[in-house]
Chains A and B, each alone.
Chain A
């Protein structure tokens, strides 16, 4: 079996470490973007971005997505905010192009009603079921006591223990 030399191992270690370090900047989001000059407006824009779905990565918001389209949409959000738009106007602008799906939080509508109240309906059904089952058990009078025969047997067993 060929054994790698010590220097080769050292080289490999340094190489891996270097690769790892070189990859680190990839985690920092949006380095090439210019935030808005006004920190308050930038904070508002960021808050709006958190509610906008990234169309490429789907369950991520555009605020923490690295996708190209997310970057473009962030730029648009910033422009809109700088032009004086509020959250609703920005959302309407994007919804006119991509539909409700662009919002991470679905709007409350007739179509989305099951989505919003469904969990509560299921919870209520479960609670009702549990309630009925409990009441029925109570009406049964619970488990019966021991029969005479069982009692005698139990006495014998307990007697053995003492003796």
Chain B
């Protein structure tokens, strides 16, 4: 057989491989450009007026924590909520960024479902969310003790993401 006849087969295999890689991509998930960087400087008023505010300063407390972007109007937030509660029971610190929400709605949401959050910041106009590179709700960031973003999960947080993506990241680090 002439070697030239192998060309179509070769092309077919190459295109097939390229398409296979394409299947594994998730173009709808746009990662924040801030992964591996320091959190943007911000300070948000608390949902509960008597509580402490959520700020970049409060994220530099030497401990690893999650920052969960949520809103009462967000359906998938209800899906991930039981899992956040479970993490909280395992004494994971979770802060909440209440994204473009009405205060009363947010309170009702948390009264109904219980709050997994330590601090909750009101991001009423969504500007802080944009500074973090948030493109939708829910999203969850892993922030280390120095206030660096280690990881961003897009969509409802789940056990698989924690076990396969987040846990290996935190291996060998102190809490």
Contact = CB atoms under 8 A, between A and B. Distances in A.
Interface in B114-155: 125-127, 130-133, 135-136
Interface string A45-82: 00000000001101000000000110011001000000
Nearest to A68: B100
Contact of B136 (A56, A95, A99, A101): A56
A97 B130 contact: yes
Contact of A98 (B28, B33, B127): B33
Interface residues of B, number: 17
A121 B31 CA distance: 30
Contacts of A101: 30
A98 B126 contact: no
B32 A98 contact: yes
Give the bracket for the number of chain A residues in contact with chain B.
10 to 19
A10 interface: no
A55 B33 contact: no
Contacts of A55: 30, 135-136
Is the contact region of chain A dominated by helix, strand, or loop, or is it mixed?
Answer: helix
Contacts of B27: 58
B38 interface: no
A98 B33 CA distance: 5
Contacts of B127: 72
A134 B1 CA distance: 21
B126 A72 contact: yes
Contact of B131 (A69, A73, A97): A97
A107 to B, nearest CB: 13
Contacts of A58: 27-28
Contacts of A23: none
A156 B140 CA distance: 87
15 contacts: A55-B30, A56-B135, A56-B136, A58-B27, A72-B125, A72-B126, A72-B127, A96-B33, A96-B34, A97-B32, A97-B130, A97-B131, A97-B133, A98-B30, A98-B32
Interface of B: 27-28, 30-34, 100, 125-127, 130-133, 135-136
Interface of A: 55-56, 58, 68-69, 72-73, 76, 95-99, 101-102
